[in-house]
């Protein structure tokens, strides 16, 4: 709510807090993101283009939201051995596939 209030002071685009990510793909993406990293997850619904909002104002507002959210992010993200950002420390970038496929365990 604090993020919305700060952004709302700088834009005419409505900025609201909601506990509903919508249905189908939006909700799936949101909950998968929460599962991977609940402390660094946010979901932003972008308004339909048929409203009385310009693409520029929507883009500016989205940028303001992202900048405000970055205030709450840990400044030292997890990095893997290659120095790349690691979303979930459990997930490995490269996996050796054994010849015997029956020994493969996949965690989704």
- What DSSP string runs through the chain? -HHHHHHHTT-SS-----S---STHHHHHHHHHHHH-GGG----PPPPTTSS--HHHHHHHHHHHHHHHHTTS-SS--B-TTS-B-S-TT--S--PPPSSGGG-----
The pLDDT tens digits of the residues spanning 6-61 come to 999 999 888 988 888 888 888 899 889 888 888 888 888 887 766 688 888 888 99
- 8 A C-beta contact, residue 48 and residue 94: no
Would you state the pLDDT for residue 18?
84
Q: Which residue has the tokens 């952004």?
A: 7
pLDDT at 105: 42
pTM: 0.60
């Amino acid at each position: 709510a604090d993020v919305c209030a700060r952004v709302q002071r700088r834009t005419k685009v409505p900025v609201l807090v909601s506990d509903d990510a919508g249905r189908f793909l939006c909700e799936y993406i949101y909950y998968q993101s929460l599962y991977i990293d609940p402390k660094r997850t946010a979901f932003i619904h972008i308004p339909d283009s048929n409203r009385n909002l310009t693409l520029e104002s929507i883009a500016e507002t989205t940028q303001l939201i992202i900048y405000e959210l970055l205030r709450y992010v840990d400044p030292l993200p997890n990095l893997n051995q290659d120095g790349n950002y690691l979303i979930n420390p459990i997930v490995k970038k490269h996996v050796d596939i054994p010849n015997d496929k029956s020994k493969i365990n996949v965690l989704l």
